[in-house]
Chain A
């Protein structure tokens, strides 16, 4: 199973005049757990935003299978995006709704299912992420890890083909992070979904990633692609090696103005 699921074609991303990443070219295959990695402020999350239809690239395109995301009419784009599910960094659950209502929201909005069927579907999704008894809880009554799993249940509500994760293990303890990694992998295995993950958590990268792209801040483009383990073993690029071996401290302390600029922009956005 190596048919391309998502293809990024010659893409350039920018906020106004400030170019974040350029000349991005890679494909994500069906059934992959694809990692987008790089140091803080390199544009990982920006790239993710353009993949899920939130930020229009100034050049290039994203292909979902054969269909273009950014050339499409807004309605057609919404149709394409219904094939995806997104888990945001903090879970992004709606705080005024219970978990049940959060997960039921996309179901009632986009399908004609009746109330009983919706209830069963929500119960099933929450059971998948191990939260079946928490239907009536509000998000702020749950721990961070539970909020993320609930966010995952909502992202999976409509059986998406592609699931996007923004820093899924950020802010989780190693045990919860491991549980979430296992969950992501088993969902990929059992549902046949494609997973695209933005992360700089090395443990996750090596544990579940089977393909990746490495974004660089200085050259503003991708400097490596391939399976993380293979990159670690074979890459000659010092930046990639430094990142993958966790020896990236001096990189962060650099006085390079471009990196500084990139980081502050991320923060003030």
Chain B
């Protein structure tokens, strides 16, 4: 960079005319002479009839000069001092005329308001209410679509359904295997520490078997699918919303609910119980690995114990819970996607919100169902 000559602003009085002379290089990131003192000088004297500028000594300049000039002009305007800009270079005059051009729209500036905490709580409550309303409407629309499907009146495409089945079923197997195996291992280790106190390591099989089938298998499958598929649904539908694709579908006579939402919903609802069964199985294998390799239990013994511990009703409870999760995950994913705004950040918000809502739904519904099972004694 070339050397800068320091910038200066000199004021001279000729009778009632004040001349502000800019000198040196006025480029960004240089120290500027305190403009406040200049402004103060202006304010003290009521006899100034005109403010003129001189740029004979001005070197290079950029936005810095413009900012200071605008500050000066705004101040002079406030004091009611007439300004003569004709002595400025043409370029600066042109820029000033752009800055002071009357905009097409005025009076649209946002007022910075700080809501009181009462208003914030109230708004949050209203939003919650609206959200609940939206969920109910969404469920209603889905019910209508399902009715249409039964009557064969909707634009449901089977090929989409198979595509999403592949996506939310077999494609998820690797991650489900890994997580379930590890959860099985963890359950076995956690139990073994306590059970070995009584020399009852054989009951690791009961613990892992019951734990996986009744609770953890379904829960893990649900959480994984929320993060993997629920968020993907929200992002896909949200991006379609941003690109006007959903509007396009509507104009072509497709009902987005049955065309986009229904295949995803049904695919996930069909796949999640199967994934749950698979997760149960892999978790039990994980428990077996721990028992066989760290405790003196043979594989056959472990399987025998597991078979004795798990009843069909445990399996049925786990799988039916997981079916419920399937509905909830698909609902939250599709709902947030369809609600998405029309910007890139809105898509991110939709995906985040889908995961948060999904996991919240899963955990709450799980607690409720566990409580019911407990009361019913099953």
* Docked-complex contact B343 and A136, CB < 8 angstroms: no
Q: How far is the CA of A181 from the CA of B99 in the complex (A)?
A: 17
Residue B342 CB within 8 A of the other chain: yes
Name the B residues within 8 Å of A117 (CB-CB): 67
- Given known contacts A113-B28, A137-B110, A130 and B91 CB-to-CB distance under 8 angstroms: no
Residue A191 CB within 8 A of the other chain: yes
Interface code B90-109, partner A: CB below 8 Å = 1, 0 otherwise? 11101100111101111111
Q: How far is the CA of A183 from the CA of B106 in the complex (A)?
A: 19
Residue A174 CB within 8 A of the other chain: no
Q: Look across to chain A and name the residue whose beta carbon is closest to the beta carbon of B95.
A: A190
* Docked-complex contact B345 and A124, CB < 8 angstroms: no
* Docked-complex contact A125 and B63, CB < 8 angstroms: yes
In the complex, which residues 100-148 of chain A have their Cβ closer than 8 Å to any Cβ of chain B? Answer: 111-113, 117, 120-121, 124-125, 127-128, 130-140
Q: In the complex, how many residues of chain B place their beta carbon closer than 8 angstroms to a beta carbon of chain A?
A: 33
Name the B residues within 8 Å of A167 (CB-CB): none
Say how far B33's CB is from chain A's closest CB, in angstroms: 14
Residue A186 CB within 8 A of the other chain: yes
Which of the residues A96, A124, A131, A158 comes within 8 Å of B344, measured between beta carbons?
Answer: A96
Residue B62 CB within 8 A of the other chain: yes
Residue A95 CB within 8 A of the other chain: yes
* Docked-complex contact B110 and A124, CB < 8 angstroms: no
* Docked-complex contact B341 and A112, CB < 8 angstroms: no
Residue B70 CB within 8 A of the other chain: yes
Q: In the complex, how many residues of chain A place their beta carbon closer than 8 angstroms to a beta carbon of chain B?
A: 32
* Docked-complex contact B66 and A133, CB < 8 angstroms: no
Name the B residues within 8 Å of A140 (CB-CB): 341-343
In the complex, which residues 43-65 of chain B have their Cβ closer than 8 Å to any Cβ of chain A? Answer: 62-63
Residue A159 CB within 8 A of the other chain: yes
Q: How far is the CA of A131 from the CA of B104 in the complex (A)?
A: 9
Say how far A256's CB is from chain B's closest CB, in angstroms: 30
Q: Look across to chain B and name the residue whose beta carbon is closest to the beta carbon of A131.
A: B103
Q: Look across to chain A and name the residue whose beta carbon is closest to the beta carbon of B62.
A: A159
Name the B residues within 8 Å of A124 (CB-CB): 63, 66-67, 70, 99
In the complex, which residues 72-131 of chain B have their Cβ closer than 8 Å to any Cβ of chain A? Answer: 90-92, 94-95, 98-101, 103-110, 112
